[in-house]
Structure 1
Amino acid sequence: METSSTISITEKDLEIYREKGYWISPKLISDERIEKLRQAHERIWRGEIDGDGYTRNGLVNLPDDPLKLRKLDNGWWINDEIRDIVTDPLIGQLAADLMETDEVRLWHDQVLYKPGLADQVSDIGNVGWHQDFGYWQCSSTTNMVTVWLALQDTDLNNGGMMSIAGSHKWGLIPESNTFFDTNLASLKNRYATEGKEWIEEPCILKAGQASFHHALTFHGSGPNQTNDPRLSVVAHLMSKGTAFRTGVQWHPNVTHLGPRPYDGQLFANDYFPVLYKR
């Protein structure tokens, strides 16, 4: 794996993460690796599969509208390049230091393709303001982190991610699982209630950089107003001891615990590989 082994989390980095709920990494991978991951995107959307794996929802299905966001969960099951990056030990170590844990496992990954709108006006490719943990309430802890890796220079012009600084301190907001609600203004009015300071900060990334954000940090993204797609790979990671909570919220990952999952059962089998362990 061609990540840089010289990168580490400093006390200043940890302070930023604790205060803002996210941290922007230096460049983690080489230009050659970025190109391979871009090619992996192309192969995935063509329906090519490495080995005898499969996706959770069967074969890749492209959206009915070419301007819609493409999202594939668990790309690591079917693509070797995706597997290598979302299970990379350096990314695991950086996440471990930010989460202050001794072990990091993969919760699941996402392969995201945001088409370019060019001069068209549409919110169809937006990602709504949401908390990742709004979808993960079956997990016993909110100490989880998302690693959003850019495969090209990314800013607001091509639909880069925006984070709400400090929003991880608000706790879980009810019904914050609004990834697919493209009306950013409406969601802001809903979540920016009294006593919550709404500070939008763009995550400006060079190709190969990543944003690490807390599972409770609100984030979203606007339109890609360029001619080229915005490509990214996302690793959702969990801290040591993350277990299943029954009776809260269903998530597809629960099915990977076996036919009769039980309260307190660890998400710790082959579906949730270890990236890093001290």
Structure 2
Amino acid sequence: MKDTVGLVTQEDKEFYKKNGYWVSPVLFDEQEIEEMRKAHDRIWSFDYDGDGYPLEEWRPTNNPNMLRKIDNSWWINDVVRKTVTNPVIGRIAAALMDSTEARLWYDQVIYKPGTGTGKKDALSPGNVGWHQDYIYWQCTNTDNLITAWIALQDTDLTNGCMCIVPGSHKWGLLEGSDAFFNRDLEAVKARIAEESGKEWKEVPILLKAGQVSFHHALTIHGSGQNYSEHPRLSIVAHLMPHGTAYQNRGHNVDNIRLLGPRPKEGQRFDNHYFPVVYSEESQS
């Protein structure tokens, strides 16, 4: 992986602050990308490192023609673990969050199937509905979390790249954004646009293999059909700033179980289930 000392400039931070996303240069080399692609194959074949299991899985009959997503795969795959805890990713995330530290919240390995046809399917099985990540993370006391999305192949509109609504991280939390698994992108768009009352403008995030896009936890994003014959593969690291703690808003995710059987208000997500990816203190 390339070093990033001085990579994130003040101009980059201002762009992120204004638009709610930022795209890195290519960070991973061909060998690293191939290792991550092989990690995908092993995970979908239930070939795990060690004897544990991921916290949560979503694999309908493990069908390669459907969208597949698995959370906390860093527990069961050494390559994913190395990738999502890489301090370069953490350093960038910390800079964009204006934090002295970046901890891993959790990871995702996502497989978007290819349809192998140029025919548009409005309800393609690989569609990811428009959503805000924070709609699922309200058990944290801040919305200043960030997602690092790593492309394992050149990714554009032909194979279902992510699309972002710039500036939408300033719209607040929208109840209509709970739509990750809703394949009807147009219906979700109409619902969110009506709730927000804002002008909708989406931008495709075009990435070369090994590039990483970073977006704010409130930034609205989704992705459409993969028209190619090959699956679109990605590894995703969700990261949180220093001091992130539990807040009971009645909308919790499985990760709160990692705080113990009875999490308490204000309890920090700072145990070994949420490893430090980067810290200024460790660099001094």
| Interval of TM-score (by shorter of Structure 1 and Structure 2) | over 0.9
Provide the C-alpha distance between the structure 2 equivalents of 1:195 and 1:55, rounded to a whole number of angstroms: 39
1:261 is aligned to: 263
Provide the C-alpha distance between the structure 2 equivalents of 1:181 and 1:145, rounded to a whole number of angstroms: 22
Q: CA deviation at 1:66?
A: 3.4
For residues 154-209 of structure 1, the C-alpha deviation after alignment (integer angstroms, 9 at most, x for no partner) is 00110100000100000111242210001110011111136412110000000000
Provide the C-alpha distance between the structure 2 equivalents of 1:92 and 1:129, rounded to a whole number of angstroms: 26
1:109 is aligned to: 107
Aligned length: 276
Superposed, 1:86-235 pairs within 5 Å as: 86-119=84-117, 121-122=120-121, 123-193=124-194, 195-235=197-237
For residues 3-51 of structure 1, the C-alpha deviation after alignment (integer angstroms, 9 at most, x for no partner) is 4345621111111101110001100111110001001111111111112
The answer as to whether partners of 2:62 and 2:68 remain within 8 angstroms in 1 is no
1:45 is aligned to: 44
1:273 is aligned to: 275
For residues 68-120 of structure 1, the C-alpha deviation after alignment (integer angstroms, 9 at most, x for no partner) is 11101011000000000100101000000000001110000000011100116
Provide the C-alpha distance between the structure 2 equivalents of 1:53 and 1:65, rounded to a whole number of angstroms: 23
Provide the C-alpha distance between the structure 1 equivalents of 2:61 and 2:172, rounded to a whole number of angstroms: 33
Aligned partner letter, 1:218: I
Provide the C-alpha distance between the structure 2 equivalents of 1:7 and 1:188, rounded to a whole number of angstroms: 37
The answer as to whether partners of 2:26 and 2:212 remain within 8 angstroms in 1 is yes
Q: CA deviation at 1:121?
A: 4.5
The answer as to whether partners of 2:158 and 2:226 remain within 8 angstroms in 1 is yes
CA, structure 1 residues 30+13, in 2 after alignment: closer, same or farther (shift >3 Å)? same
The answer as to whether partners of 1:4 and 1:29 remain within 8 angstroms in 2 is no
- For the aligned residues, what is the CA RMSD? 1.5
CA, structure 1 residues 110+152, in 2 after alignment: closer, same or farther (shift >3 Å)? same
Going by fraction, where is helix more abundant, 1 or 2? 2
1:82 counterpart SS class: helix
The answer as to whether partners of 1:34 and 1:151 remain within 8 angstroms in 2 is yes
TM-score if structure 1 supplies the norm length? 0.95
Q: CA deviation at 1:218?
A: 0.1
CA, structure 1 residues 64+103, in 2 after alignment: closer, same or farther (shift >3 Å)? closer
TM-score if structure 2 supplies the norm length? 0.93
Q: CA deviation at 1:61?
A: 4.3
Q: Does 1:82 align with 2:76?
A: no
Provide the C-alpha distance between the structure 2 equivalents of 1:26 and 1:183, rounded to a whole number of angstroms: 32
1:249 is aligned to: 251
1:238 counterpart SS class: strand
The answer as to whether partners of 2:153 and 2:208 remain within 8 angstroms in 1 is yes
Provide the C-alpha distance between the structure 1 equivalents of 2:262 and 2:2, rounded to a whole number of angstroms: 39
CA, structure 1 residues 208+76, in 2 after alignment: closer, same or farther (shift >3 Å)? same
For residues 115-162 of structure 1, the C-alpha deviation after alignment (integer angstroms, 9 at most, x for no partner) is 100116432110000000000001100000000000000001101000
The answer as to whether partners of 1:134 and 1:175 remain within 8 angstroms in 2 is no
The answer as to whether partners of 1:147 and 1:211 remain within 8 angstroms in 2 is yes
The answer as to whether partners of 1:17 and 1:98 remain within 8 angstroms in 2 is yes
Provide the C-alpha distance between the structure 2 equivalents of 1:228 and 1:17, rounded to a whole number of angstroms: 31
The answer as to whether partners of 1:45 and 1:62 remain within 8 angstroms in 2 is no
